[in-house]
């Protein structure tokens, strides 16, 4: 029997669709920095496959999600797209660049 997953607010995961309209697969990550790196690796892997004729074309999509206690505005917990609550930034890579520019530590963000 599969182990039931339990999530707590703030948990993060990367979602990735290697070829639209496939369904997404998910990978838990420990930080925004780790999520941004995984997204970069997955995108580069798809580019590598395309450039080396592993696949003739591709249309991928991906992002970073966080577990939220109120994901729908009505109190239901669930996954939502990640964004920084202070700045409103929705792109993990851009947010990390700003953190570095501001001299802040990002490894555990």
Q: Does 96 fall in a domain?
A: yes
Q: pLDDT confidence of 58, banded at 50, 70, 90?
A: confident
Domain presence at residue 51:
yes
Residue 94: inside a domain, yes or no?
yes
Domain-located, residue 55: yes
Is 37 inside a domain boundary? yes
Residue 45 lies in a domain: yes
- Mean predicted confidence (pLDDT) in 103-109: 64
Q: For residue 29, what are its two tokens?
A: 């990550």
**Predicted local confidence at residue 86, as pLDDT:** 92
In this prediction, residues 44-62 reach a mean pLDDT of: 92
pLDDT for position 6: 87
Q: Are 14 and 43 in contact (CB under 8 A)?
A: no
Predicted confidence (pLDDT) at residue 109 exceeds the cutoff of 60: no
Alpha carbons 61 and 17: distance in angstroms, whole number: 5
Burial category of 64 from C-beta neighbours within 10 Å (exposed 0-12, middle 13-18, buried 19 and up): buried
Does residue 92 surpass a pLDDT of 50?
A: yes
Is residue 27 a part of any domain in this protein? yes
Q: Is the pLDDT of residue 64 over 50?
A: yes
In a domain, 2, yes or no: no
Give the pLDDT of residue 63: 97
CA distance 64 to 91: 9
Residue 60 burial by CB count (10 A; 0-12/13-18/19+): exposed, middle or buried? Answer: middle
Predicted confidence at residue 90, as pLDDT, reads 95
Residue 4's pLDDT is 67
Tell me which residue range forms the domain holding 30. Answer: 12-101
Domains identified in the chain, total number: 1
């Amino acid at each position: 029997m599969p182990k039931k997953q339990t999530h707590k607010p703030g948990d993060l995961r990367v979602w990735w669709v290697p070829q639209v309209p496939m369904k997404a697969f998910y990978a838990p990550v420990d930080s925004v920095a780790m999520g941004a790196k995984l997204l970069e690796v997955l995108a580069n892997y798809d580019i590598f496959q395309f450039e080396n004729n592993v696949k003739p074309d591709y249309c991928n999509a991906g992002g970073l999600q966080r577990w939220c206690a109120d994901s729908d505005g009505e109190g239901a917990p669930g996954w939502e797209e990640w964004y920084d609550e202070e700045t409103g930034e929705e792109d993990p890579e851009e947010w990390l660049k700003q953190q570095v520019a501001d001299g802040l530590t990002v490894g555990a963000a």
